[in-house]
Amino acid sequence: MSKSPAKLTDTEKQSPRNKAKAEPERLDSAFSNETTKQKIDDFKDTFSKCEIVYKVILEEHQFKKTGEHLERLQITMRQVPHALAFAGYDFDNLLLTKLFGSKEKIGKRSVKKLRDSLTHSLNQKAIDELIQREQELYAYMNDFLMKIRQFDQAA
């Protein structure tokens, strides 16, 4: 059983409230540059397409494996290559790792991990990484989507 957190004193409760209070201002500042905001939104939208497309395949793969339609599908590199191979795709593992992998080192994050950072803990390092690696990151996403779109045409 997990241990419940200790009760905080009124003074200790002030610290998380102060951090929360400062956060909207920090986020407003991060999103004040319209160009940057648009880059973040476009990046997240493009990755969402990749994720949704992949989850269509994953859902079918998991149903075949378990006989159940799972409520929540989570992307892990343990199943990405297998699910795509199940559907007949022959993706390069390096591309899949760059797209869906779990590498979190700043400057080398996978597309998924950078999207996670921009979504859940937006900070300047994540924004800078997006701007610096924008062409590279879009290349991974576009390669994935193009292969999905054109795979059966090549046969």
Q: Residue 43: its pLDDT value, please?
A: 98
Domain ranges of the chain: 13-154
For the chain (155 residues), the mean pLDDT of every run of 10, in chain order, is 73 83 81 91 97 94 78 84 94 96 91 95 92 97 96 74
In this structure, are residues 53 and 32 in contact, taking their beta carbons and an 8 Å threshold? Answer: no
136, two tokens: 């590279």
Q: Residue 155: its pLDDT value, please?
A: 56
Dmax (CA) of the chain: 67
Within a 13 Å sphere around the CA of 59, how many CA atoms are in the beta-carbon half?
10
**Residue among 16, 98, 89, 94 at smallest CA distance from 53:** 89
SS3 128: helix
CA distance 76 to 46: 19
Burial pattern 84-121, b for ≥16 Cβ within 10 A else e, equals bebeeeebeeeebbbbbbeeeeeeebbbbbbbbbbeee
Q: Residue 31: its pLDDT value, please?
A: 79
